[in-house]
Chains A and B, each alone.
Chain A
Amino acid sequence: MSELDINDKVNEMLHKSEHNAAAAECFEKTFVRPEDEEREVIAPDGSIIKVNPIYDYFSGKKPTEEKPCGGVVEKFLNWARAESIWVLGFGTGCGSIEIPPLMTPRFDAFRFGIQMRPTPRQSNAFIISGYLSVKTLKRVIRSYEQMPSPKYILALGSCTINGGMYYDSYSTINRLDKYLPVDVYIAGCMPRPEALLAGFMKLKELIKAGKAEKANEYARNFDEYKANQKKIIKDWNMPDYNW
């Protein structure tokens, strides 16, 4: 088989797979930036490759519910999950200033198995720290959906609960739980690092009791969440599920 044949084969695989058919459906009515448009590029070896940036990098499939297996195994798994909470280092609002002191010797969140990770693919907890503008929400959704399940959201500060002092702002959301499933709310403006630690303890309790199943809830009520998200994110130029 020559190189050109292999290229044809690969192209066929890429563009006729089930994933892309599903993705194509959910992309019909979206606004796509010029750099994301489907196009043909010439590879270094001279062959022509079809590129469709958004379809190629992400799956168009909806998330699926993962039922807990139950019994002793599930208990053990939950214990293990509760002891290793890896937080995505993404400060969305003013509350992210409370996170750095959490990782200092004074508050020392490491002793509870909490640590910060730089990418969503390595983390399972997301702290939404304070007010969330629509522009940030778009990035938050992308990051949240890339995190491996089971995943948890801690909503920090009163802005995530009812809008806080930004309740009448045109650009910040009021209730986070309409757009993403929230496991633990930490009230305050701003909550101290101690409050954040208390929130983590609560999250651990929930995980150990098997009640932190919000990732499954997100998959179950996926259409509802998406409808709410699309209501405010007008320039939706990303896949419906960013995995």
Chain B
Amino acid sequence: MKEILDRIQSKYNLQDTGFRTDTMAFTTVSKELAIDIVTYMRDYEGFKHFVMMSCVDWIEDNKLQLLYLLNNPTKKCDIGIKVFIERENPSMQSAHHLWKQIWTYQRELKEAFGIDFPGSPRVDENFVLEGWTEKPHMLRDFDTNKYAEETYFPREGRSTNDPATYMRAKLYPNQPVTAKKNKDHE
């Protein structure tokens, strides 16, 4: 695993390379080179098995992070290739030509995060939701509670308790609640 990473390091500029376990490494690469590196890993380093592709919303940094997780079945090791892309009108080079199952992942990411993959087959079709007109529902600034309240007729009289506060009040009724609560949230 280490040799493989050293070899790519000499070819591409990798950042934040680190090992999660002995056989699993993660690295961050630039958006322009990402698909090149994935292709290189598949064709030259034996990472033939595409495990999955996912996205993380870093709203504080105004960025989305894509992750391509690949597996090498002969050497029994995994590599995760992370890419940061912009959050406004996100778009990424499509990788549908490498593995066919990427079609589906990209369709899902288009629906859940609004990331466009130009050229990816059927990328504009509905994936799970039908007729969704709001902003992509997995973005962190989409307020699902507010949307549900406005849309789905919440039943009056429904109340919720913070489990920690409730249990503390039940178990230790003599202790002041507020002081404890603040301590917890620190």
Contacts and interface: CB of A to CB of B under 8 A. Distances in A.
A138 B151 CA distance: 16
Nearest to B157: A162
A168 B133 contact: no
B140 to A, nearest CB: 13
Query: Most chain-A CB neighbours within 10 Å: which of B129, B130, B148, B152?
Result: B152
Interface stretch (A66-74, A91-99, A207-215, A229-237): A229-237
Contact of A162 (B129, B142, B155): B155
Given A168-B145, A168-B148, A170-B137, A135 B130 contact: yes
Contacts of B131: 31, 233-235
B24 to A, nearest CB: 33
Contacts of B129: 134-135, 171
A233 B151 CA distance: 11
Nearest to B158: A162
Contacts of B145: 168
A88 interface: no
A161 interface: yes
B153 A170 contact: no
A234 B133 contact: yes
B155 A163 contact: yes
Contacts of B148: 163, 167-170, 174
Contact of B130 (A138, A167, A231): A138
B132 interface: yes
B36 to A, nearest CB: 37
A178 interface: yes
A171 B149 CA distance: 12
A232 B129 CA distance: 12
Interface residues of B, number: 20
B147 interface: yes
Nearest to B133: A234
B144 interface: yes
B56 to A, nearest CB: 19
A232 B130 CA distance: 10
B173 interface: no
B151 A167 contact: no
B153 to A, nearest CB: 5
A90 B144 CA distance: 28
A178 B155 CA distance: 10
Interface of A: 31, 134-135, 138, 161-163, 167-175, 178, 228, 231-235
Given A134-B130, A171-B137, 17 more contacts: A31-B131, A135-B128, A135-B130, A163-B154, A167-B154, A168-B145, A170-B134, A170-B144, A170-B148, A170-B151, A174-B148, A175-B154, A175-B155, A231-B151, A234-B131, A234-B133, A235-B130
